[in-house]
Amino acid sequence: MWRISCVLCGNMSFPMRRRLLLVEDNVVAAAAIQLALVDQGFDTEVVNLGRQAIGRLIQSRFDAVVIDLTLPDLDGGALAEMIRYDWPDLPMILMSGYDRPARLAPFLENRLTAFLQKPFEITALVSEIELRLSRSRESSGRASTSPRHEVKDTRHV
């Protein structure tokens, strides 16, 4: 866990909470996972759609993203591929109640990406997040904060 020192507090340091983006359309599952992750020391923001996830990643910095593969607006695998392209150093945990899709096998060879089958223990999720965060720091020093190229908002008003 990173630490940040307070100039006014002398040598004291306080843990800096890691920020996660949880992409889960099932509100009950999202609330349960969010509560458990917050309890484990993660600031966790929830979005229910893939397009919302892209918007939040453009607007704010997250240390990792947890994605359900079954979303109503985008395939979770396609979302993960978009995120990997634009934020190559951002750790991702993919999750699904279904078997891991074979098409994701090459994608999951990336050291910053993992797959968990639902249901899972929260300790398994936390372990995967911590492992991917550690690998991200090893490879880049810190997760990317901005996309590789300009991502345009294509919504119509």
Residue closest to 34 by CA, chosen among 55, 43, 26, 25? 43
What the block records as the tokens of 51 is: 């397009």
pLDDT for residue 149: 45
pLDDT for residue 59: 97
pLDDT, one tens digit for every residue, the chain (157 residues): 333 344 444 554 445 689 999 999 999 999 999 999 999 999 999 999 999 999 999 999 999 999 999 999 999 889 999 999 999 999 999 999 888 778 777 778 888 999 999 999 999 999 999 999 999 888 765 444 455 545 444 434 3
**Residues 82, 98: Cα–Cα separation, whole Å:** 21
- Residue spans of the domains in the chain: they are 15-138
Residue closest to 53 by CA, chosen among 27, 79, 32? 79
**Residues 87, 21: Cα–Cα separation, whole Å:** 13
**Residues 157, 148: Cα–Cα separation, whole Å:** 26
Superfamily of structural domain 15-138:
Response regulator (3.40.50.2300)
How buried is residue 71: exposed, middle or buried, by Cβ count under 10 Å (0-12/13-18/19+)?
A: buried
What the block records as the tokens of 47 is: 């979005």
- With beta carbons less than 8 A apart as the criterion, state whether 115 and 100 touch: yes
